[in-house]
Amino acid sequence: MIVTKHDLLSRGVGKFTVGNDLAYRALRASVGMSRSLSLGLIASGLLACWVLSRASGGADAFAPHWYYLPILFAATRFGPLAAFIVACVAGLLAGPLTPADTAVGRSQELIQWLSRAGFFVLIGQVSAWLLAPTVRYPLAEEVRRMRIEHRIRSALKQGEFSIVYQPIHSIRLGRHIGVEALIRWHDPAHGVVPPGEFIGIAEETGLIHEISDFVLEEACRQAAQWQRLAESRACEPWHVAVNLSARDMERPDLARVVAEALKRHDLCPKLLTLELTESALAEKSSSLQLYQLRKLGVKLAIDDFGTGYSSLSYLNRFQVDILKIDRSLVAHLDTDESSQRLARAIVGLAETMQLKTVAEGIETAEQLEIGRQLHFDLVQGYHFERPQSGEKIPDLMLASSSPAGMVADEHGHMPG
Ligand code: C2E
Ligand code: MG
Ligand code: MG
């Protein structure tokens, strides 16, 4: 199930009946404020309270109550430890031992001062305790997501996304036969951001549609180039697999977008595989979408098979071509008997349903050997190749379907 921003808010902030939108916005702004600005505000708040309490008649007057503001702010922005430190500082500043108070004989009793300082600490801790689970953490999470959402938006505009391709290997043919397209984000400030860190947020915000459009467009463009190159060298063209999100199933124009990308680049539809997770198949709208996609002639794969609901009814309801067995199962093939039994059962099921199997995340020769014994059709993983830039693929493609040792030059030209 996709958790939307709305769900997040109704689960978190919704429980804490903030009362009105203004208070909620103020809380969100305070949680989202930068660290240095927050620290500056706390320091100047403490200073302002000190000046105010001196100016309005010393520690005994009402003015020290203003100290609750920086304490509450510290509790909201940073949590209990910061609230404790700020409360202690406030307690000291609101103390009785100032020369001005002593001069006019207005200094507080020590006990009065200590109880006020204690109260500062208590209020700070109680508010941090109340705010943290219901407001601060959900808000901080929301603010983090809002920042990433903003960064994704500008990354799309600035062209910071690119695609890498991981070869897929056929055990029977003993060579690579295609690639999976995987998105990469080159954030100038944070370096390469892995998809696991932004795909979820892109799904919640709907930005995933733009990401999917970009990946489809770029993968079809590259695959069509490789197709032409392969045809000119009379070798097998590689197919390209593109990951779609469950949210893409909600798009009424999905099949049109795919059809247009295929047409624009003149890519043969059977060279394109669309990878969907089981949660995508669970979407209500997926029946119609899958029917329309199939009509285009593209292949469909269930990604990460064995991790989701693994409801076999999907296999009955939707015509798919490929099952991609998840890395978490493959990782234990060489050490765990029951993983092997489960993998064998999946291969048996795939054979019965006339589907191909791809084992994801093959990292060792042992795993490959077991994969061979289990009759996986295709395998993919670091044991063969890591994901790599599109420029490296022509070399690999031509080398894998040509006599050993012949490697294409950087433009895809073969020697001789
Ligand atoms: P996935 O579709 O199951 O892709 C396979 C992931 O496993 C990739 O991670 C790949 O780099 C990694 N992998 C492949 N072989 C090995 C191996 O031998 N060992 C290990 N440890 N890892 C291996 P990546 O690129 O970080 O992608 C993670 C997930 O993010 C993908 O899982 C997919 O669900 C999602 N994703 C990636 N690109 C896209 C995209 O363009 N669109 C969408 N919607 N999701 C994407
Ligand atoms: Mg995939
Ligand atoms: Mg997968």
Q: Using CA atoms, how far apart are residues 180 and 167, in angstroms rounded to an integer?
A: 6
CA of 192 to the centre of ligand 1 (A): 14
- What the block records as the tokens of 393 is 């693929």
Q: Whose CA is nearest to atom 46 of ligand 1?
A: 243
Q: What is the pLDDT of residues 350-375, one digit of tens each?
A: 999 999 999 999 999 999 999 999 99
Give exposure, 126-138, as e/b (b: 16+ Cβ within 10 Å): ebbeebbebbbeb
What residue type is assigned to position 333 of the chain? Answer: L
What residue type is assigned to position 29 of the chain? Answer: A
Ligand nearest to the CA of 182: 1
Work out the mean pLDDT of the chain and round it to a whole number: 84
Q: Using CA atoms, how far apart are residues 93 and 113, in angstroms rounded to an integer?
A: 10
CA of 243 to the centre of ligand 1 (A): 9
CA of 182 to the centre of ligand 1 (A): 6
Q: What is the pLDDT of residues 214-229, one digit of tens each?
A: 999 999 999 999 999 9
- What the block records as the tokens of 306 is 């064995």
Q: Using CA atoms, how far apart are residues 152 and 201, in angstroms rounded to an integer?
A: 9
List all residues 6 or more positions away from 18 whose beta carbon is below 8 Å from its beta carbon.
24, 27, 135
Q: Whose CA is nearest to atom 37 of ligand 1?
A: 182
Q: How confident is the model at residue 96 (pLDDT cuts 50, 70, 90)?
A: low
- 30 vs 121, residue with greater confidence: 121
Residues touching ligand 1 (Cβ under 6 Å) are 166, 182-183, 194-196, 199, 215, 243-245, 275, 303-304, 327, 360-361, 363, 380-382, 387
CA contacts within 13 A on the Cβ side of 272: 32
Give the per-residue pLDDT at 58. 58
Give the per-residue pLDDT at 335. 87
Average pLDDT of span 308-323: 79
Is residue 14 scored above 60 in pLDDT? no
Q: Using CA atoms, how far apart are residues 122 and 339, in angstroms rounded to an integer?
A: 54
Mutate to test the pocket of ligand 1, among 152, 165, 199 (most ligand atoms within 8 A of CB): 199
Neighbours of 306 (CB within 10 A): 21
pTM: 0.75
Domains of the chain: 5-150 (no CATH), 160-411 (3.20.20.450)
CA of 171 to the centre of ligand 2 (A): 19
Q: Among 55-69, 162-176, 391-405, which is the least confidently predicted range?
A: 55-69
